[in-house]
Chains A and B, each alone.
Chain A
Amino acid sequence: MHFAFTDEQEQFRASVQRFLRERAPITAVRSAMETTLGYDRTLWRQLCDELGLPGIQVPEALGGQGFGFVELCIALEEMGRALLCAPFFASSVLATQALLNGASETQQLELLPAIASGQRIATLAWVESNGRWDPGGIALTATPVGTGYRLDGEKKFVLDGDHAEVILVAARAPGSVGAAGLSLLLVEAEAPGLERHPLQTLDPTRRQAALRFNGVSARLLGAAGNAGAALALTLDQAAVALASEMVGGTAALLESAVAYAKIRMQFGRPIGSFQAIKHQCAELLLAQELTAAAARYAAAAVAENAPDVPALAALAKARASDTYLQAAVECIQIHGGVGFTWDHDTHLWFKRAKTSQVLLGDANYHRERYLAQLEAGA
């Protein structure tokens, strides 16, 4: 049964929440997002040393905390609520899951401890300019050269890709198509022939970059030409993780909208006593409850390696894409003019909601995937 958190999980949530409220309030978010790096290194170290978050779901033998995917998603909900600026999603979700799913044991032992302790920041580069989120859209090629590989092509929308120290690249064998012929490779940040430049995005709280590979040497992870399944699994897990983060963000917006509706007076009464506002809040709560139920169920399914993870991931991400944006749009509306100002904080969540809506596939994409999964199972 996936319907309630244990007491331990609730305590864990409370401790992450307390930490973020104290050390990463929205003023800290605002100053971090103005920096070149995009996050506060001191805060990141505290997050690693005091809470051990970056390796929360990584087994202890690989330098992690040995908790499960559910705990990871609880932490993500809280990070989404706080709008934390950190390379967590890139490093601890995308890159870490890719290594857990696709690298050999020896490679995991070599690479994961530094990532799980937060010392090295990693990311996963798989999407390209065509904007296709599925592995089939990959065009960048990996050509065998001696004992290694040479990468040619480009990657785009790479989270924290301008400063990550370890870059995992999804590439295909020249001439291969679809999910076949895909490999996962490791590139060091200083590798010759690698050009990276930050992308200007809507959301200043999460960095993205474009990467060019001009004959860059790379090291193969896992078996050659065999990474299709591991990559697909990684992307499903990432969709569930992102949906969890989005559920947390939605909760923050809903709280903010309701709090304002209680205090803002117009026509001699709080605006929250007008049904137009009241009913909007009620519908938002319903949407959030439904979506949170989906994200939590999906997280538990990932933790148990359930066979329906692809369908559940699609469901959770589709719902979260719609719900987070609905909350952001309505939170601004309920705040009126002040909600449209830079000084007011709502736009920061709006921008995260807008980019998260698209990141890893929008609602239409995931609804189509969900139905295709049901058809395959019928």
Chain B
Amino acid sequence: MSQFDDTTIRTAVRDWLATHWDPERGLVAWRHLLAESGWGVPHWPSEWCGRDLPVALLPGIEAEFDAIGAVGVARVGIRLLAAATLLEHGRDEHKARFLRRILTGEDTWCQLFSEPGSGSDLAGATTRADFDGERWRVNGQKLWTTSAHHAQWGLLLARTDWDLPKHQGLSYFVIDMRQSAIQVQPLKQMNGYASFNQVFFTDAEIPAENLIGAVGDGWKIAMTTLAHERRNADALKRWGRASDRPGRIYAEERAEIATVMEPYRWYPQRAGRVDLTFSRARETGRIAEPALRQELSRLLMLAQCAEWMAHRARHAKALGRPEGPEGSLGKLAASHLARAAAQVHTLISGADAMLAGPEAPLGGLIAEILLSVPATSIAGGTDEIQRNIIAERVLDLPREPRMDAGPFRDVPRNPPRAR
């Protein structure tokens, strides 16, 4: 195990960076180099751009990157979920075709799961994929699809059999988003951004080789995607921040954040920006108010505990214990944290909490927090669904009686929405 020791690894990455890091290199070229060396995603398998290192070493490696301001691989957004899913369920040809371009940032991905009639109940999807002997044809509608307007590829959950029970009739595909049979319409959100979309499929095509797993495996594979989404909930706060250093690579990274990463610009705010609370409470002098002190202290304690809980989960994973539904605990904690942070920001801002725009506190950032936090307890599975998962799979409490057994064709569901 000595070669996996933290100091040895940190020395190795530091040496490698010392020879290779150059801020005047192009962003994509640099990330190809990272993919080849394995230092971009050292916890991935060595045959797929990684080094087979335990996740526990990642913080140390990241610290070496941060210390000299070295840019990492593209790892924000749905691309991560795509990579994790393909690593687990894709065939070698899928991995060879998609993984590296995910890391270099050349391809952007979206997740086509939710529909107008099925959100929490993802297995109730009615978007259909039918095989015509040569290729799959897709018809239907997806909703809330983040970054579909930028995406090259989509992770699609579609119904391939209507006579089987709902969970068994689904299949999982990678679909090329750049085809005229797919129409993407942005949807404006309550915080003013338009990161998610509605997506319409009218005889859209998928070549046979883009089926992931076997026909009927869709639900199982979608679970992998969702488990990663939940686990990453606590990482949201680091998303989408650009460095203002000089150098070609930083300029290209800023351009990337401004364009394909644009849908994620408000994501740190959606997590509540706990990091701003203590300093603002001091700057505004509100820290002297006993009621605020209690709320602020409670919030900071919760944030600290959530971090330790996440560390423990990572540590358990590094010890080889199986990854379970614990991600739901982290996701639920992130919801509590976001709401509590929004409350504390409101208390700190006083009457100014009513304001938005450039004259509002922090140039409108606080307003953006207040209007983005409600997404946290919905996106990636609502709080209620997380509580169900924790209760049923961690505490082993009995399931609710089902009303949706039997062939999917006969299951009661929402009426189709008019377009």
Contacts and interface: CB of A to CB of B under 8 A. Distances in A.
B344 to A, nearest CB: 12
A270 B391 CA distance: 13
A281 B395 contact: yes
Nearest to B293: A371
A200 interface: no
A291 B397 contact: no
A3 B400 CA distance: 35
Interface stretch (A39-47, A63-71, A95-103, A362-370): A362-370
Given A3-B311, A368-B297, A371-B296, A286 B333 contact: yes
Interface in B303-341: 304-306, 308-309, 311-312, 315-316, 319, 329, 332-333, 336
Chain A: interface size category = 35 or more
Contacts of A297: 308
A286 B332 contact: yes
A376 interface: no
B294 A367 contact: yes
A376 to B, nearest CB: 12
A319 interface: yes
B300 A289 contact: no
Interface stretch (B29-37, B107-115, B382-390): B382-390
A279 B308 CA distance: 23
A378 B397 contact: no
Interface string B261-298: 00000000000000000100010000100100110111
B419 interface: no
B108 to A, nearest CB: 34
A81 B388 CA distance: 26
Interface in A202-247: none
Interface in A130-166: none
Contacts of B332: 282-283, 286
Contacts of B308: 2-3, 290, 293-294, 297
Contact of A370 (B300, B315, B319, B394): B300
B24 interface: no
Interface residues of B, number: 41
B163 interface: no
Contact of B301 (A279, A367, A375, A378): A367
Contacts of B417: none
Contacts of A294: 301, 304-305, 308
B314 to A, nearest CB: 8
B66 interface: no
Contacts of B290: 368
A311 B395 CA distance: 32
Given A258-B396, A262-B396, A367-B298, 4 more contacts: A258-B397, A281-B395, A282-B390, A367-B297
Contacts of A2: 308
B401 interface: yes
B251 interface: no
Interface in A1-45: 1-4
Interface of A: 1-4, 258, 261-262, 269-270, 272-273, 275, 277-279, 281-283, 285-286, 289-291, 293-294, 297, 315, 318-319, 364, 367-368, 370-371, 374-375, 378
A278 B297 contact: no
A270 B398 contact: yes
Of all A-B residue pairs in the complex, the 8 with the closest CB atoms, nearest first, are A367-B297, A293-B308, A290-B305, A278-B391, A282-B390, A282-B387, A272-B397, A3-B315
6 contacts: A269-B398, A272-B397, A279-B384, A286-B390, A318-B297, A368-B297
Contacts of B336: 286
Given A278-B397, A283-B387, A4 B301 contact: no
Given A286-B332, A290-B309, A291-B305, A374 B278 contact: yes
A260 to B, nearest CB: 11
A364 B297 CA distance: 9
A315 B386 CA distance: 26
Contact of B329 (A3, A286, A364): A286
A261 B399 CA distance: 12
B392 interface: yes
Contacts of A371: 287, 293, 296-297, 300
A273 B398 CA distance: 5
B280 to A, nearest CB: 13
